[in-house]
Structure 1
Amino acid sequence: MRFFILLGLLALAACEAGDNDVTPVDGPTTSKEGGNLLPPEQPALQPSDAATVPTIVMPEFAPQYPGSTMKAVNSSNGGRQVHEVTLTTHDDAGKIMKFYRDKFLAAGLKKTSDFQSGGTGVLSAAARDRRASIAISKEGSQNLVIVTFSDG
């Protein structure tokens, strides 16, 4: 199962967000005179309308990467509370991997996988009652870091 997850993460890493060029199919959005053809009843989103990212307190054994931005948080409770936190950072994959290797080791977790290739990487570790993993891929000019952890 972990092999298929790794393959999926590596496939996602190969896709860069900047590869999707969009061209309008319904014609131009401005007139020859330079006026906007978009209907006035559709105002731009205000910052208060934008979706807010939920926050979570990450444990010491799988903390938020220093200087990163929290992009998404997902939690599930299928018998064990599992959290998945998506972070973005400009730091390189090697530096991110070292940070989490050190944190996992300091918390008494033992590595179960450790793979890095170019700008991507996967690292997981476990102890009796805790599990943590990270997956790193590129997203434009930043690294996307998915931290998954469970405790208890």
Structure 2
Amino acid sequence: MNNEKRLWNLTELELFDYHRSTIRKKLKAAGIEPVAFKGSTPLYDVIQVAPYLTQAPVKESDAPDLMGFKTAAELRAYIQAQSEKLSLMQDAREVISKDEYENEIGRLIATIKSFKDKVITRIETVIPDVDPHNLEDLERLLNFDLKAVADELKNL
């Protein structure tokens, strides 16, 4: 390999998809100095600098993940805004608490079970000569339907 082809100036190093100023910063941070000069233009050994210009950026701090926000202040402002939004929605009764939700589901299930018992009683009252075997079949089918409703409610 010809050594002259290994020596690149900053303009040639822009092939790594960085601007010259960024390349200078990366090389300075890595402690890499020019290996030669052509006039006043610094030349760098491309084999030496390539690893620093192709590696993924290294996280510079051990700060917690900011969920895509540039600063902790932006993340804090977002969280505060979301809290205020939730508070306003609760005040406007657009959202309910988990406890209220669970209580409402419990009342719904109790109402459906009560309906099943009332249906069988009303059928016995309206049709006095109904066969007990038919009532048992109806109750079994209603229990099956109630279980399906309960399973669907659990998936909400």
- TM-score, structure 2 normalization: 0.23
- TM-score, structure 1 normalization: 0.23
Tell me: higher relative CO, structure 1 or 2? Use CA pairs within 8 A at least 6 residues apart: 1
Please state which structure has a larger fraction of its residues in helix: 2
